[in-house]
Amino acid sequence: MTANSLIQLSLYLAVLLALAKPLGVFIARVLEGPASGGGPRIGLLERGIYQLAGITPDREMSWREYAGAVMALNLLGILAVYAILRLQGTLPLNPQGLAGAPPDLAFNTAISFASNTNWQSYGGETTLSYLSQMLALTVQNFLSAATGIGVLAALVRGIVRKTSTTLGNFWVDAVRITLYVLLPLSILLAVLLVSQGVIQNFRAYETVQLVEPLTDADGQPVTTQTLAMGPVASQLAIKQLGTNGGGFFNVNSAHPFENPTPLSNFLELLAILLIPAALCHTFGVMVKDARQGWALLAAMVVIFVPLAIATIVAEQQGVPQVAAMGVDAAPSAAQAGGNMEGKEVRFGIVNSALWATATTAASNGSVNSMHDSFTPLGGLIPMWLMQLGEVIFGGVGSGLYGMLMFAIVAVFIAGLMVGRTPEYLGKKIEAFEMKMASIVILIPPLLVLIGTALAVAGPGLTYVAGEETKGNLNNPGAHGFSEVLYAFSSAGNNNGSAFAGLTANEPFYNIALGLAMFAARYWLIIPVLAIAGSLARKKYSPPSAGTLPTHQPLFVVMLVSTVLLVGALTFVPALALGPIAEHLQMIAPK
């Protein structure tokens, strides 16, 4: 690893951690409401929304009511997006006259954006109108992010409250998160991105002359190129801040209209992890012990940094077959070196590898390089970060409540070691909490492994296009298996990134991945809220000599070990069939 790589990684982490604390404190004040004394007061806009929607802000909900409100909002969102995509051809703001989406694609996309996955089986600029991008996708980017943070807030209240039957009001949480956190940050980031050259307009696509004429595959001359336009910056800002990841263009943040400069790349990369990191501080403020938030953030950083370094090193080492051809692939002042396939030269290996690990750690899924072109080990790490459960930062809200499920398991194990009933922040962890936490931790691997097994058993290998039968995989063997495993790892953990060699825009994958995304999001939210309701009803138990302190390095080690052990035991056999086998083939002597 070069000195330049270390400097860039260190700078990124320093800025991220410096901004995370003040933002985390502010989010806590927003979630605690005006009664906290430090949050935004209820203004005219907020009050107007409550009156228009018939919301009683002072009425709190039980965990079942909170779950019902979450599901109602999200199911309505899925139906709305599906309808907009199907009717796109007849709706306005469609200067290219794009037709409505097929039923299976509309189904997949509606679930994808409502569930904060943002998996895209299509090219945005060739499939969706401006209205679909804004009214369907961008709106869901806000609502899905607000949903995740709201569920986290309910869980934290369950931990903090004593003998209570309520967890707050989901509608109030969603409104305040959107008004005071997501909208201001998105406007600020959008303005900064426009200053760097990210486009924001409603013009029709433009046709320009090529500087150097080309010939197509049939030998015909090509003298022009069509440049897609559109309201990109507004969607891009919340795409990153809300850990959504769905791009306006097919190549996502590798496109110069989405990510034109090194500064725009840094800002977008910073936005990916900013709110997930800040929410650790939010947790510390809300439980009245900042050390608890620092412990969770430390566990995330301890896992993230070595994996980011390993990805950078894997890509900088390059491919032996290229070196054997006499190509100079060593990093230097004149070149990035290593494996540059699928990477933008304006970003190079370090920014590409760092983005790959950040986006898969954070349940974001956006890309500024093609993960399918990474080396086998370079591609394994982003895949495994998703398979860990998207708890290393993870999605906004969902990453932290996922990590808290692992924390519950860790303190339960610690309690067994000393023969006492385990406790977390003064609340006893009993059989019900362990059952629900186990569901949250084990359902994503179940979706990933069963989905992958079904796909490679036959339905996911070929599809019918017109009168032809075509293959879903552009690559055979271990890499082809990796493409399928990556797709279900992405959908089963609500990430949304992909190995590009898989043809997924056909009925089997659109339906199978859509169902996986739905279950991975909502099948987990309900057990999390059930745990919140159970903990809220319990009395506070003062710490004793047998209580494991959950703010000390020992707990961080136990938490990290639990996350890594579950991820390794679950997925190493599958990884051995894919990227590990491919790596051994790559380095094997010919």
Give tens-digit pLDDT for 233-261.
Answer: 999 999 999 999 999 999 999 999 999 99
Query: What 3-state DSSP class applies to 393?
Result: coil
Percent helix / strand / coil, the chain, rounded to 5: 65, 5, 30
DSSP state of 548: P
The residue among 133, 235, 117, 258 whose CA lies nearest residue 186 is 235
Mean pLDDT for the stretch of residues 323-349: 84
Q: How confident is the model at residue 590 (pLDDT cuts 50, 70, 90)?
A: low
Q: Which of 319-328, 373-382, 509-518, 525-534 has the lowest mean pLDDT?
A: 319-328
Mean pLDDT of the region 323-352: 85
Give residue 36's pLDDT: 53
The pLDDT of residue 394: 95
Beta strand pairing call for 221-227 and 423-424: unpaired
Task: Quote the pLDDT of residue 325.
Answer: 83
Phi, psi of 385 (to 5 degrees): -60, -40
In terms of pLDDT, which residue wins out, 128 or 326?
128
pLDDT, tens digit, for every residue of 438-476? 999 999 999 999 999 999 998 999 988 877 888 999 888
Return the pLDDT at 386: 97
Tokens standing for 194?
A: 């426009």
Q: Identify the helix (H) or strand (E) that includes residue 210.
A: strand 206-215
DSSP H or E stretch at residue 7: helix 3-32
Q: Is the pLDDT of residue 38 over 60?
A: no
The angle subtended at Cα 375 by Cα 373 and Cα 377, nearest 5°, is 135
- Write down the H helix ranges in 348-430: 348-361, 376-387, 398-418
**What distances in angstroms separate CA 211 from CA 208, 221, 225, 396, 545, one per listed residue?**
9, 13, 10, 44, 75
- Give me the percent of the chain exceeding a pLDDT of 70: 99
Q: Could you give the CA distance from residue 299 to residue 284 in angstroms, rounded to a whole number?
A: 14
Q: Is the pLDDT of residue 308 over 60?
A: yes
- Class of residue 95 by CB neighbours under 10 A (exposed 0-12, middle 13-18, buried 19+): middle
Mean pLDDT of 258-285: 97
Q: What is the model's pLDDT at position 160?
A: 96
pLDDT in tens, 370-409: 999 999 999 999 999 999 999 999 999 999 999 999 999 9
Count each helix (H run) and each strand (E run) in the chain, helices first: 21, 6
Q: Per residue in 102-121, pLDDT tens?
A: 999 999 999 999 999 999 99
Q: Is 41 a residue whose pLDDT tops 80?
A: no
Distance CA 129, CA 112 (A): 18
Three-class secondary structure assignment of 236-276: HHHHHHCCCCCCCCCCHHHCCCCCCCHHHHHHHHHHHHHHH
Q: Could you give the percent of the chain with pLDDT greater than 90?
A: 85
